[in-house]
């Protein structure tokens, strides 16, 4: 019969194995926020909300125009940018597909422009659909943006704003 002391030691051993078996990632997301009216301008004091697997993990006001955040687990992240009276936009970053390896530091950079809300434009789809999607590309062995998806979203926004 196994004693209580042995049971506790075995239990602690397996907890340690499970803890160290969890793999972390290191993806640094750097986003510059700009107003659509002046692309060289800087959109300051926006609110950013970071969701990890649909759970809010961070919400803060960005003092400058640069958003920097480290994604450190193999999860799917949703990052929302909002400021009144602008239309909010969000991105999705999928870190779940990053394989285990020695070098696991990645950077994702982007410029995101927000435009002012006008009731004559139906931009409600932006609440459900991300403006861009980042993921791990196995061929390039790096985190990249899905530019085809991004292009289709930009075209959808342009179409919405130009149709009469």
CB atoms within 10 A of CB 51: 18
- For the chain, the structural domain boundaries read 23-162
Mean pLDDT of the chain: 84
Per-residue pLDDT reduced to its tens digit, 18-51: 444 445 678 999 999 999 888 778 888 999 999 9
Per-residue pLDDT reduced to its tens digit, 81-112: 999 999 999 999 999 888 877 567 899 999 99
Q: What confidence score (pLDDT) does residue 150 get? A: 94
Cα–Cα distance, 65 to 32 (Å, whole number): 6
Reported pTM: 0.81
As to burial, measured by CB atoms within 10 angstroms (0-12 exposed, 13-18 middle, 19+ buried), residue 48 is buried
Class of the CATH-defined domain 23-162: mainly beta
């Amino acid at each position: 019969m196994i004693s209580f002391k042995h049971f506790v030691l075995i239990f602690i051993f397996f907890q340690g194995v499970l803890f160290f078996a969890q793999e972390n990632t290191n993806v640094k997301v750097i986003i510059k926020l700009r107003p659509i009216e002046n692309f060289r301008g800087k959109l300051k004091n926006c609110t950013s909300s970071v969701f990890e697997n649909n759970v809010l993990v961070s919400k803060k006001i960005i003092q400058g125009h640069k958003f920097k955040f480290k994604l450190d687990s193999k999860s799917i992240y949703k990052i929302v940018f909002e400021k009144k009276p602008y239309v909010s936009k969000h991105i999705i970053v999928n870190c779940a597909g990053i394989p285990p390896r020695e070098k696991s530091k990645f950077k994702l950079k982007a410029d995101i422009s927000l435009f002012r809300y006008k009731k004559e434009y139906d931009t409600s789809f932006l609440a459900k659909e991300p403006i861009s999607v980042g993921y791990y590309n196995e061929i390039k062995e790096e985190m990249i943006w899905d530019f085809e998806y991004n292009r289709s979203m930009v075209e959808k926004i342009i179409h919405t704003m130009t149709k009469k």
